[in-house]
Structures are given as structure tokens and as C-alpha cells.
Structure 1
């Protein structure tokens, strides 16, 4: 009777001990897994540096197609130039004249360097050049805020057999006619080469 009690007690103690071992292993397994993952550093992607190599943490510098920074526009003296500057052969202003008793169809084209071309109908073009002072006077008249307020279309009563003028400056077109010239427009006409718009046949 005593031997049976001892045997049953030993079995109970062994089962309890085995249960504790399993519980401890279940608790330790996630801890070991997390600790193992934390010991490995995740590699960071390389970053391009200014000299074209990889590595470091500096921000990449924008480069052109050849791997170098895009050049800054400079003049022959080495000073930085502006994109809004006009070339000497760019067109400053064009004036088209049509109508009149002879029914002319003429055009005057003035460039920023003062050179100009006059075309009368189908005849050969005539070339000329304004002085720097004359170009400055013309540009001042065109850049006058009063000229920017000149109506784009004539509003007065048309003159019989009069001329029609189409002036193009800085992508703005102004159409005028004889008898409908504002003081700002007349100032531009007075500054044109050869005494004004080309009205001769």
C-alpha cells in the first residue's frame, strides 16, 4: 500500500516538472528569435556623392548627361548672363504698312543691334543701320508704359485711302490707322529709321 502511494507521487511530480520545462521553452523561444534578428543590421542603400562615387550620406547633386553639373551661361568676360538678354540680330520691332492711294504693302524690320531692312512690295529689300543713340530712343519709346496701354485695334473713324499700320513688339500686336494715333504710338513712329513707317510705294 505504501509502495503504490510513493509511485503515484513520483509520477505526479515528474509530470509537473515536464510541464514547467515546456512552458519555459515556449517563453524563451520568441525571446531568442527577437534577439537573433536584432543583432543583424539591415544594409542601407548607397548614396551617390558629388564626385560620382557611392557611399556616405550626402545628398546627390543634379548632374547633366555626362555626369557633371550643367554649365552656367557666361559671357566672354566670364560674367553670368541672363536668359532674357536679346541677341544683336534678334528682331526688336516690325512695322507693316498697307493701303494708301497706291495700295502699298511694305514692311520695316529693326533688330536690336540697330540694323534694319525695308521691303516695299515685291521690290528688293533695302538695308540700313541706326546709331546706338537712335536705337536707345526707339527702345525707350517701345518700353514706355504709355505704349503698353495703346489699344490693340483702332477705335477712331477710318481715313479714306489712309494707311493701316501693324506694329509687333515683344509678342504684342498693335493695329493703327491714319487719324487714330495716340501720342505714345506717334513717339514710336518718330523714332523709327528713315523718318517713320515705310509708306512709299
Structure 2
């Protein structure tokens, strides 16, 4: 029994020693949802900025305002450079499972990629570029749904058009007139659908 008592004294002695160390730590750290104790530096008044301005936040850069239209959509009034992409059209699907692409730049140059063939390049006339831009900037085009709304066509093609920040996904048999106008203005009516 003496041995058992000695073990208990050692075991509980360690527990009391751990508690004696832990209690002051908890008292200093605080419990619950209180914050750390205030220090004179934390209660000192902050430096004030000149009247009418707010002090800048450390390490932050203010974001430029995002231009939006009356309908809440993002508007981009930036006049693009001639080599920037005016529109990109990707087509995939069909029986052969094609994945082709057409990229048109603001200067009228375009590149068509079809399967594993070498890219083909060309140039639209100024009038053709103007017609394509007018079709893409038509308010009716902004109302075209961004996802297909009709019944899918078996083994049909899916088209993904990207103009500035707007992406429109459409499929065969699902082209409202405003979207058809865009396709009619594209070189060769859009990217090739052959493998």
C-alpha cells in the first residue's frame, strides 16, 4: 500500500505542478472572447490626416472603379489596340469530335486553327471589321442568352464566343438573329467544323 500511495503522490504531484504552471498562463492570456489587455500604445490616439482626406491603409492599393451600365453589366470603354483580340470563337462536337478555333483581332487579322493542321491566317477588310464590330456591339447581341436555350442537336456543334468580358455559348439550331448576324460577319462564317 505504501508503494501505491507513493505512486499516487507522484502522479497527483505532477498534476498539481502542471496546474500551477497553467493557471498563471491562462490568467495572463485571458479567457472567453475578451481581447488582449490594452497597452498604452493601443490606447494612444491615432495620427490624424489633414481635413477632408482619410489616412491610406497600409499595404493596400485602391482598386479603380469598375464601369457599369444601367443594367449592372460591366462596361469597357477602353479603346483596344489593333492587335488585341476582337472576338474568339471555339467550336467543338460533331461526329468527329472537332475542336477548332477562330481568333479575329481589331486590325482585321485572323487565325483559324483546325485540328492538327497548321494555322491559317487572313485579313478582313476595314468594312468587314466594321460590320463585325457593329454586330458584337449591337444592344440586341447583349440580350442573347449566354447558354443554349433550345433542344440539343444530336452530334451537333457547340460554339463558344468570347468578346471582351462576355462569353456566349450556343449550339446548332440555337441562334437568335443578333447572334446569326455575328456569325455572318465572321470570316468564313466562323471556325471550320471539319476535323
**What TM-score do you get using the length of structure 2 for normalisation?**
0.59
Do the aligned residues in 2 keep the contact of 1:189 with 1:197 (CA within 8 Å)? no
Task: Look at both structures and tell me which one has the larger radius of gyration over its CA atoms.
Answer: 1
Residue equivalent to 1:166: 160
Deviation at 1:199, TM superposition (A): 1.3
- 1:86 partnered with 2:77: no
Q: What is the correspondence of 1:101-140 to structure 2 with a 5 Å cutoff?
A: 101-140=95-134
Q: Which of 141, 145, 150 lines up with 1:156 in the alignment?
A: 150
Cα distance per residue 1:14-37 (max 9 Å; x no partner)? xxxxxxxxxxxxxxxxxxxxxxxx
**What TM-score do you get using the length of structure 1 for normalisation?**
0.57
Deviation at 1:124, TM superposition (A): 1.1
Q: Which runs of 5+ in 1 are unaligned?
A: 1-82
Do the aligned residues in 1 keep the contact of 2:102 with 2:190 (CA within 8 Å)? no
Residue equivalent to 1:77: none
Q: Which runs of 5+ in 2 are unaligned?
A: 1-76
Number of equivalenced pairs: 119
Residue equivalent to 2:23: none
- 1:196 partnered with 2:194: no
Deviation at 1:180, TM superposition (A): 0.8
Deviation at 1:200, TM superposition (A): 2.1
Do the aligned residues in 2 keep the contact of 1:118 with 1:125 (CA within 8 Å)? yes
Q: Which has the higher contact order (CA 8 A, sep 6+)?
A: 2
Cα distance per residue 1:51-98 (max 9 Å; x no partner)? xxxxxxxxxxxxxxxxxxxxxxxxxxxxxxxx8221110000000000
Q: What is the correspondence of 1:6-25 to structure 2 with a 5 Å cutoff?
A: none
RMSD, matched Cα: 1.1
Secondary structure, aligned partner of 1:138? helix
